[in-house]
Structure 1
């Protein structure tokens, strides 16, 4: 570990969450009487010099390599800057059921703001993009996460965002994601080929990386753990679901062999063609609520 990072313990009789100041990254949510719902690698690296694998990365102002002029933009760092930034924990605004973190453009390296402006055609006559971001997690028998971003500058700007949740399953090969039947999606495993979800459930027999046009409720069924994770969203016109499969999963440096079997990413997103434009003073909220039901 390069440098110790602060981890906040939000606990009450209904559930517990652990959230790092580094990235405002939720690394655990366990409702009372249940197995952990959010997945983390056993040997996860927790240092200020790298993004955290697993949990719920907070992604802004671009998703993946970014998207500009109808194609991937090849931007770095991947998934923008918020998951690498030192957020501020709001001691007075947080309780044993609510964690609140804040971040602004003043906390971000100017070079990253310039990359954002250059590739998203932001007018910099009045300066680089200015923003305030708030991440809140309401913790109990359910978990509600909200990322709110506000334009505090004098020029409009465009952005992408996501709550990149890694959900714990007993065996990915037996997991089923319901709620996407008939939805159109881009298949990133096959060159972002456009397709339609023909089957009732999304299953994970091999590598899966898809961006669905869907804002509805979802249900991740897990017969091994005997439960379903129910997912509702706010401000999310898209659903991203990902699992690397055996070959790529075993090659990921901070995951042990075989750990790829124990998670499915189900992400609330606003990305690519659905990027959002905020005028000065405007704000946008992206939210996700997780609940557990007996299967």
Structure 2
């Protein structure tokens, strides 16, 4: 019996359901290869999905965990954040071997270059994505293989639309003292001065050379997301706040209050692959209960205390 089931949602899109014995679940669309739901054992939704999200091509779906390839951002003639997030993927029937996924529910997806893609980005590739669910943890392992006869370069990101209780009560630890590009200031480079990132207005930044672990602390829910990543050295932080939210057609006017994007990215330096070479990244999202000391989570416990 496969470790997942496939159903069709109300929009007719194939939807993969992952479950694990403790009761948590994840749902993935073949459209975009996108995780659109991740619920814990208490059936609480951990990901943000806009009530106005469009689930039809050629639109990308606003929420969940979109895959940005072959670019993250808005450069050149390619569509913003690349085309991988609005293409139909397939279930990979013969995935390359990876380390065993013990006690995990796993699905492997694949996206290959099409004639349409080759017209806008003339590089032949295979993009594979392993999605694994275990108790309290969701793991994504993307891999890009160059199947072309010449080298090519790309940037990559996993957007993480996280569900939070109140953005004004959220703090992010692990990015302090780092340099970042501020997209609201024409990508000017700054150094983070705050002890932790808190939110009282629009933010659109890319932090550079970030640690492998970042903590997103939701004070009201007493819950912390722990983001661990490998091969994805940068981290984008985004919330549109009120004015931008009202200007986005696929985003509810007040939904900025209950979401935060903390993205795993490789964007400052392009990844270059020679023919037949493969790049591999890894991201783990987990949740832990927050513990407080003078209103602050002990960052050493979250950032360094978990294996």
Regarding TM over 0.5, the answer is: yes
Distance 1:194 1:12 in 2: 43
TM-score (norm 1): 0.87
- Map of 1:120-199 to 2, 5 A cutoff? 128-141=122-135, 142-199=137-194
Q: TM-score, normalised by structure 2?
A: 0.84
Query: Which residue does 2:260 correspond to in 1?
Result: 264
Please state how far the C-alpha of 1:192 moved relative to its aligned partner: 1.2
User: Does the CA-based 8 Å contact 2:170-2:198 persist in structure 1?
Assistant: yes
Is 1:45 the counterpart of 2:41? The answer is no
Residues 1:252 and 2:248 are matched in the alignment: yes
1:260 to partner: Cα distance: 0.9
Within 5 Å, give how 1:81-100 maps onto structure 2: 81-90=83-92, 97-100=105-108
Please give the secondary structure, in 1, of the residue aligned with 2:12: coil
Alignment of 1:73-112 (within 5 A): 73=76, 75-90=77-92, 97-106=105-114, 108-112=116-120
Aligned to 2:29: 20
Unaligned 5+ segments in structure 1 are: 67-72, 114-127
CA contact (8 A) 1:31 1:140 kept: no
Equivalent in the alignment of 1:119: none
In structure 2, what is the Cα distance between the partners aligned to 1:225 and 1:34? 15
Contact 2:118 2:124 in 1 (8 A): no
What is residue 7 of structure 1 aligned with on the other side?
15
Aligned residue for 1:160, secondary structure, equals strand
Q: CA RMSD in A?
A: 2.1
SS at match of 2:28: strand
Could you tell me how far apart the structure 1 residues matched to 2:51 and 2:221 are? 18
Q: Which runs of 4+ in 1 moved over 6 A?
A: 92-96
Change (3 A) 1:50 1:290: same
The equivalent residue for 2:200 is 205
Name the structure 2 match of 1:70: none
- Structure 2 residue runs of 5 or longer lacking an equivalent are 1-8, 96-100, 291-307
Deviation at 1:55, TM superposition (A): 0.5
2:149 and 2:92 mapped to 1: Cα distance?
Answer: 26
Whether the 8 Å contact between 1:4 and 1:48 is mirrored in structure 2 is no
